[in-house]
Chain A
Amino acid sequence: GAVVSQHPSRVICKSGTSVKIECRSLDFQATTMFWYRQFPKQSLMLMATSNEGSKATYEQGVEKDKFLINHASLTLSTLTVTSAHPEDSSFYICSAPQGANEKLFFGSGTQLSVL
């Protein structure tokens, strides 16, 4: 299957700092990527759809200014959590479709802990 690389796998930061998470499609091009958030023992919650060369589309209730998404190339999307607070602590996962729009391949996830 297709490979999606996500970095870092884990980050611990102080409250008020910004954190950038990278998502790369390694062996295919992705005009669209998806960012999810997952709380313990819960399913994936779609945060936003990242579109190459245009603005991201955010799901209802997700703050655009808090979660900045940039999709500058066909293989790279970044999620920046700005001015992170403890309530932003969560597991963030990206995905990209390959072969079909609904056939998603996921990165390994990033565990964010904000102190």
Chain B
Amino acid sequence: QKEVEQDPGPLSVPEGAIVSLNCTYSNSAFQYFMWYRQYSRKGPELLMYTYSSGNKEDGRFTAQVDKSSKYISLFIRDSQPSDSATYLCAMAGGYQKVTFGTGTKLQVIP
């Protein structure tokens, strides 16, 4: 079993839709949770960083962490074509290096 599982997609939605991206993990030591956005042939860009259970909102993005279920989500409201990218979840904790999910490719259709 991988430490971090992420649905690879691709996920295709119409413009304006609410997008839900999810990751599950198995390592209880993880306590820091990140979401990155990566455009094709570019480095990942940090979108959200959180270390507690619950929701964290930043503009159209909401990160949700449920440590009891070992489940994190990223919600994108009013999705735009510019949101089309690959989204990577990432986690760290204890002495572990940052572990990345495999990424979910999102396409927002105008």
Cβ-based interface call for B41 (8 A): yes
Q: Is the interface of B mostly helix, strand, loop or mixed?
A: strand
Given A43-B88, A44-B88, A111-B41, CB of A105 within 8 Å of CB of B101 = no
Contact with B along A43-79 (1 / 0, CB 8 A): 1101001000000000000000000000000000000
Give how many B residues have a beta carbon under 8 Å from the other chain's beta carbons: 21
Chain A interface bracket (under 10, 10 to 19, 20 to 34, 35 or more): 20 to 34
With contact pairs A43-B101, A44-B100, A46-B97 given, residues A101 and B92 touching in the complex (Cβ less than 8 Å): yes
Q: Determine whether B102 belongs to the interface, using a CB cutoff of 8 Å to chain A.
A: yes
Which of A49, A104, A109 is close to B41, meaning CB atoms less than 8 Å apart? Answer: A109
Q: For residues 94 through 109 of chain B, which have their beta carbon under 8 Å from a beta carbon of chain A? A: 97-98, 100-103
With a 10 A CB-CB cut-off, give which of A43, A101, A105 has the most chain B CB atoms. Answer: A43
Contacts of B46 in A (CB 8 A): 1, 103-106
A34-B97, A102-B92 known, 7 other contacts, Cβ within 8 Å: A42-B102, A43-B103, A100-B49, A102-B98, A103-B32, A104-B90, A106-B43
Task: Please report A residues at the B interface, Cβ cutoff 8 Å.
Answer: 1, 4, 6, 34, 41-44, 46, 49, 91, 93, 95, 100-109, 111
